[in-house]
Chain A
Amino acid sequence: MIDSIDPRIVLIKHRFSDIKTIIPIMSSKGGTGKSIISAVLAYTFTKMGFEVGLLDLDITNPSLHVVLGVDIEKTKPIEEKGVIPPRINNLSFMSIEYYFMENPTPLRGSEISNAIKELLAITIWNKKDIVFIDTPPGLSDEVLDIIELIPRIKPIVIAIDDPMTMKATNKLITMLKSMNIEILGLLENMAYRLEPSTYIKKLCDIHGIEFLGLIPYVKEIRSYIGNIDELYNILKPYIDGIAKNIMRLIEVSR
């Protein structure tokens, strides 16, 4: 006899079986630009002709819908033997916010995990070349659940060249490596110069991970939040090269 089984765990593995590449965007500190990068990278891959999914797994502070300019009250997943994420700017976009509806939703650890498991179990992605996952900062529940529940993840780590973030980035990379997670690469955001930071390059060398490229500090970026096309246009000189590097590493084909 077996007691008390969570049936969602097996289904979650199955839900990701038709997705070629799963890329969580991670960083150890808040405010490093994960959400904007997740959205713009995902959008860049749609421009390149790929079938792309975008999943917001920041459960208590989801913000991708703000980046994409989605009216969460009016846009809902389609119910069909599970739920199918709505198409937003050619992206299949899934978020817990369709259900939390921008209300403050404080959750402690086990309930965060429960919400993640439910969302992953009911979401039907169908065939996708890539699914990008926006994550909350740090090494807490969401990040650990992603590692435990989602198969074949290849995270991209976002770093900013400042001493606090660098220490924390080192911790994140060390943890991922200790859990045998293949890190796709490191991306420098809000760079001061158009050349990689010495510290960030050194971190890549120490850990033997790929430097994917950099995005400089773009002062006016805030005014484009809510319009993914404008965000893409302003970041295009940098993001296209980063996307090509990602493509080379994952070797997805249409």
Chain B
Amino acid sequence: MHEWALAEAITKTIESIAVEKNVNKIKRITIVLGELQNIDREIFEYALNELMKDLSTRKSIVVENIVIRDEKAELRCLRCGKHWKLDDVVLEDYMREAIHFIPEAIHSFTECPFCKSKDIEIVKGRGVYIEAIEF
């Protein structure tokens, strides 16, 4: 149910922006789910719907269209410069669980598959963010 916290971050942000801009209708929001965080989409969508209903009841703020898109994760070595995908990394369940909560935990459990450096970075597909809000 950690997905609930991520959905709550989205709705609290929408509430804050709507109040700041003095609007109660948002045409569309686009949410990106990064592969690394391994969000359970069903739970996330359920939490988001419940929290959106609450936002509509409490503040009469309505989002007409919610688009959710997935983003594949990509990692890069800062020593040799090579890129790789999450599919190329072997992770045990407990590692995936830790990465689910804190995506940077990938650094604890992996290294560059080419030069074995630990100096790597997450290029994309890290976690949840709002790509766009259209009014």
Whether A88 is near chain B, meaning CB under 8 Å from some CB there, is no
Give residues of chain A (65-100) contacting chain B, Cβ–Cβ below 8 Å: 79-83, 96, 98-100
In the assembled complex, which residues on chain A have CB atoms less than 8 Å from the CB atom of B126? 114
Kindly state the separation between the CA atoms of A108 and B76 in the bound complex, as whole angstroms.
13
Measured CB to CB, the nearest residue on chain B to A113 is B104
The reply to whether B12 and A1 form a contact with Cβ atoms under 8 Å apart is: no
The reply to whether B9 and A111 form a contact with Cβ atoms under 8 Å apart is: no
Count of inter-chain pairs, beta carbons less than 8 A: 110
Measured CB to CB, the nearest residue on chain A to B2 is A79
Measured CB to CB, the nearest residue on chain A to B27 is A1
Measured CB to CB, the nearest residue on chain B to A124 is B5
In the assembled complex, which residues on chain B have CB atoms less than 8 Å from the CB atom of A124? 5
The reply to whether A5 and B13 form a contact with Cβ atoms under 8 Å apart is: yes
The reply to whether B104 and A81 form a contact with Cβ atoms under 8 Å apart is: no
Kindly state the separation between the CA atoms of A199 and B130 in the bound complex, as whole angstroms.
50
Q: Mark A4-37, 1 if CB is under 8 A from B, else 0.
A: 1111111100100000000000000000000000
Give residues of chain B (13-54) contacting chain A, Cβ–Cβ below 8 Å: 13, 15-17, 47
Whether B101 is near chain A, meaning CB under 8 Å from some CB there, is yes
Whether B133 is near chain A, meaning CB under 8 Å from some CB there, is yes
The reply to whether A103 and B2 form a contact with Cβ atoms under 8 Å apart is: no
Interface-facing stretch out of B65-73, B80-88, B114-122: B114-122
Give residues of chain B (81-109) contacting chain A, Cβ–Cβ below 8 Å: 98-99, 101-105, 107-109
The reply to whether A8 and B9 form a contact with Cβ atoms under 8 Å apart is: yes
The reply to whether A111 and B107 form a contact with Cβ atoms under 8 Å apart is: yes
Measured CB to CB, the nearest residue on chain B to A82 is B5
Give the residue of A9, A82, A99, A118 whose beta carbon is less than 8 angstroms from that of B108.
A99
The reply to whether A7 and B9 form a contact with Cβ atoms under 8 Å apart is: yes
Contact A7/B132 with A2-B17, A108-B121, A119-B102 known, Cβ cut-off 8 Å? no
Distance of A184 from chain B, by nearest CB (Å): 29
Kindly state the separation between the CA atoms of A11 and B5 in the bound complex, as whole angstroms.
9
Give the residue of A6, A106, A115, A119 whose beta carbon is less than 8 angstroms from that of B129.
A6
The reply to whether B134 and A96 form a contact with Cβ atoms under 8 Å apart is: no
Distance of B22 from chain A, by nearest CB (Å): 14
Kindly state the separation between the CA atoms of A192 and B12 in the bound complex, as whole angstroms.
51
The reply to whether A7 and B12 form a contact with Cβ atoms under 8 Å apart is: yes
Distance of B131 from chain A, by nearest CB (Å): 6
The reply to whether A100 and B98 form a contact with Cβ atoms under 8 Å apart is: yes
The reply to whether A83 and B8 form a contact with Cβ atoms under 8 Å apart is: no
Give the residue of A8, A96, A103 whose beta carbon is less than 8 angstroms from that of B109.
A103
Measured CB to CB, the nearest residue on chain A to B11 is A7
Measured CB to CB, the nearest residue on chain A to B37 is A118
Kindly state the separation between the CA atoms of A11 and B7 in the bound complex, as whole angstroms.
10
The reply to whether A118 and B13 form a contact with Cβ atoms under 8 Å apart is: no
In the assembled complex, which residues on chain A have CB atoms less than 8 Å from the CB atom of B9? 7-8, 10-11, 121
In the assembled complex, which residues on chain A have CB atoms less than 8 Å from the CB atom of B98? 98-101
5 pairs, CB–CB < 8 Å, chain A vs chain B: A5-B17, A10-B13, A11-B9, A106-B107, A119-B102
B interface with A by C-beta (< 8 Å): 1-2, 4-6, 8-10, 12-13, 15-17, 47, 78, 98-99, 101-105, 107-109, 118-119, 121-122, 126-135
6 closest pairs, A vs B, by CB? A82-B5, A7-B9, A103-B108, A81-B4, A115-B104, A11-B9
